[in-house]
Structures are given as C-alpha cells and as structure tokens.
Amino acid sequence: MFNGIKGWFGWLAINQQCVLCHQLSKALVCPYCFADLPRFNMQNEAQNLLCNPKILRELKVINFDRLFAMSEYQWPYSYLLSGLKFNRKVVFAQALSELFCHLELAHTDLPKALVPIPLHPSRMASRKYNQASIIGKNIAKHYCLKFLPQTLQRVVNSQAQTRLNSAQRMKNAQGIFTMAHELDVDHIAIFDDVITTGATVGAAVDAIRAQFPDIKIDVWALCITPERR
Ligand SMILES: [Zn+2]
C-alpha cells in the first residue's frame, strides 16, 4: 500500500486530523473549517480596527496607533483558546498561530518587533506556559519580527479580568507592568490573545511610552470580545 518507509512517513505527515472537525487534513484547521471561520475583513477596515466604530465603542482605552485582530471572540476561537489555556492542548496554539498568519497583514509599515503580554511569575509558575507568548513567537517568526518576551514584566498579580466590569478592569490594570528591557526599535506590536476594554494592553502601552514616548505601538490580538454588561 505504501512505498516503503518513506511512503509511510509521507502518509503520516499529510494525514493529521483537523482540530475542529477531526477529518484528515494537511493543515491543523482543514480548508472547510477555514472557509467557515468568522473573521473581520481587514481590507474593509483599512488594516486597522480602530476605523471600526463598533469596536471603538467597546474599547475604553485607546492609547495605541493601530489594532489588528482576527475576529470577535466566538466559536471556534473560544474553543481553541480555552482548550489551550485550561486543558493544556498546546497543539491549539499552533492552530491559532496558523490562522492568524493566514489572514495576511499588508507587508507595508509592519512593526519591527513583537512584545507579548506577560503573565505574572506566580501565574506562570502554576500554568507553566504563557499562551500569548507561544502564539506571539510563531507570529513574529512568520512576519520576520524580533520577538521580545522579556521587554515587559508583570509586577502586580492582578485579579483575572474576566468577571470585572469596565471600571473595575481599568482600576485592576493600572500599573501592572514595568519595562524590564530596553527597546532598540521605533515601532512594535504588543500581542495578547483576547482584548475586551483594552485596559490590559493599555497598561502595557503606558509602561513602554513612559520610557519611549515617541515609539509607534500597534496592538495585535487573536480576538476582540464585547464586554459583559
Ligand atoms: Zn475541519
């Protein structure tokens, strides 16, 4: 059936399962599931979701220059992210990275480095990995950006933002980051998995701009989720 050992390994390489529908697929998300993905049309948004009034209404902090994300937070992104964060399905990080990179950003005026939002050391110790850092590293490699996971340090182990309203999120995020390493570029992207009010990435922007007031900062995220009211 197979042409020797080489044929066997070739069969294995192209016959993994789609992480969403489980049919055999060369890609982690098969072409059928990929075609069915909800996503923003970044061409309509001029490659900047800050041009989208609905998203502007959701954000409570806008202290950065541009915003890029794949979609509103919904299935299958919610399934993949919760599986990665809470069930240690690390293959989902690769799937999410590939989805983000498939939605090609225009290769003009790209940032020169990508800075992931860090976890607090105590949360890192319990979870063992930072999903934003794993996915961010893959994305930085795809776009040939420097990957700078040490730039920001989370110095306050703030309460998880999920159950807070927007005012609580703003207060909860104040001063949670400091800069731990210098930057030698004039344009970066801060990367986080999901953005709600912008309070967390806004605190990261504040920490960086306190030392580099003229730096251009884009925010890249997998998803944007409407605030719970
Ligand atoms: Zn599929």
How many domains would you assign to the chain? 2
Parent domain of 25: 1-36
Q: Between β-strands 187-195 and 216-224, what pairing exists: parallel, antiparallel or unpaired?
A: parallel
Residue 211, classified by CB atoms within 10 Å of its CB into exposed (0-12), middle (13-18) or buried (19+), is exposed
Average pLDDT over residues 178-201: 94
Tell me whether residue 89 is in a domain: yes
Give distance in angstroms: CA of 36 to centre of ligand 1.
Answer: 9
Which of the two residues, 227 and 126, has the higher pLDDT score? 126
- Residue 134 sits in a domain whose CATH number is 3.40.50
Specify whether 5 is located in the same domain as 44. no
Contact criterion met (CB below 8 Å) for 198 and 69: no
Q: State phi, psi for 188 to the nearest 5 degrees.
A: -130, 165
- Same structural domain for residues 125 and 12? no
Cα 143 to averaged position of ligand 1 atoms, centre (Å) = 25
129 and 54: one domain? yes
pLDDT in tens, 118-175: 999 998 888 888 999 999 999 999 999 999 999 999 998 876 656 666 666 666 667 8
Residue-wise pLDDT for 26-71, tens only, equals 999 999 999 999 999 877 777 889 998 889 988 989 999 999 999 9
In a domain, 229, yes or no: no
Alpha-carbon span 153 to 151, nearest angstrom? 7
The verdict on 31 and 51 lying in the same domain is no
Across the range 194-201, mean pLDDT stands at 93
CA of 32 to the centre of ligand 1 (A): 6
Q: Do 32 and 112 belong to one domain?
A: no
Contact 202, 61 (CB under 8 A): yes
Give the up-direction half-sphere exposure of residue 14: CA atoms within 13 A in the CB hemisphere. Answer: 5
Residue type, 143: Y
Q: Are residues 26 and 137 in the same domain?
A: no
Q: How far away, in angstroms, is 52 Cα from ligand 1 center?
A: 30
Ligand 1 centroid vs 85 CA: distance in angstroms?
21
Residues 91 and 26 in one domain: no
| 50 CA from centroid of ligand 1 (Å) | 31
Residue 10 Cα to ligand 1 midpoint, Å, equals: 21
Mean residue pLDDT across the chain: 87
Domain co-membership, 22 together with 110: no
Within 13 Å of residue 117, how many CA atoms lie on the same side as its CB? 24
| Residue % of the chain over a pLDDT of 70 | 84
pLDDT score for 160: 64
